Amino acid sequence: MKKIFIFTVSFFLSNVCFSQQNGIVYYGFIESFIEGNAKGSDSNSYMVFNNNQSYYVSAKDSLENKPLLNRTTAYEKKYAGEREHSGKRSIQGDQVFYDLKKKIIWSCLYTSDEFIYVKEDVNKLLWNITNETKRIGKFNCKKAKVFFRGRNYIAWFTTEFSVPFGPWKLNGLPGLIMEAYDTNKNVFWYFKNIEYPTKNAEKVNFIKKSKKEKQIKFVSLTDFKNFQLLKQQEAIETNRITQKQFKNIIFVDPKLSEMFIEFE
């Protein structure tokens, strides 16, 4: 058996000027690190935004109909070669807070047994905006491409909401990202609904800490990369130990791309 653990200023809408108010966009998020082709767990996520900041949340226990509190994303290879997904959830969820003026991203990721909090400077993403368009819901969207953190991404954005935000850490386009995915569809965000202005009580929050922790300790992006490598090595060592117990089964060592949404 093999397990891999995946670890206010004016706001424009349809060319009309509004006072600063919060909006909220709801996404579906398919995580399929191993199989690709968007054949993984389908979760709910959302992003609250104004024209200066955004707060994105996924893998949050309260968003799902069948909560899997504090369980890790795991793929168990069954005898028929199929994989069974057990999901990943925590009370506060995986979070990303982006401050446009400060040009800083703070994020939180729940892994197999702990939370890691990361603070990083925003790097300008070198988007290639194409002439291709399509409608998502009632919005006209343009296609853009970028290479980011080890994956080639495609994003569909609309200028009907002229804010540079999108799900997770995808940002920097001249409009709100409604849909995004990497070319292998290991990760895939699709648009569900948007409210602007929203009456939802959710705010553009800063990162919420786990109740187990007294305070948040943010690490650098370099430290986060080292953390990823450490988790990969731990998984490989577990494979080696398990291999000795089940000599007739071959255990494949996990790749970073199968464990984390971002890797380089």
pLDDT digits (tens, 9 = 90+) for 144-161: 999 999 999 999 999 999
The reply to whether the predicted model has a pTM over 0.85 is no
Helices and strands in the chain, H and E counts: 1, 17
Contact 86, 69 (CB under 8 A): no
* Structure token digits, residue 77: 């290879």
pLDDT digits (tens, 9 = 90+) for 185-196: 999 999 999 999
The overall average pLDDT reported for the chain is: 83
* Structure token digits, residue 6: 């995946």
Q: Which residue has the tokens 């309260």?
A: 62
Q: What are phi and psi of 178, to 5 degrees?
A: -100, -25
Beta bridge partners of 144: 129, 155
Beta bridge partners of 133: 142
How far, in Å, CA of 126 to CA of 149, rounded? 12
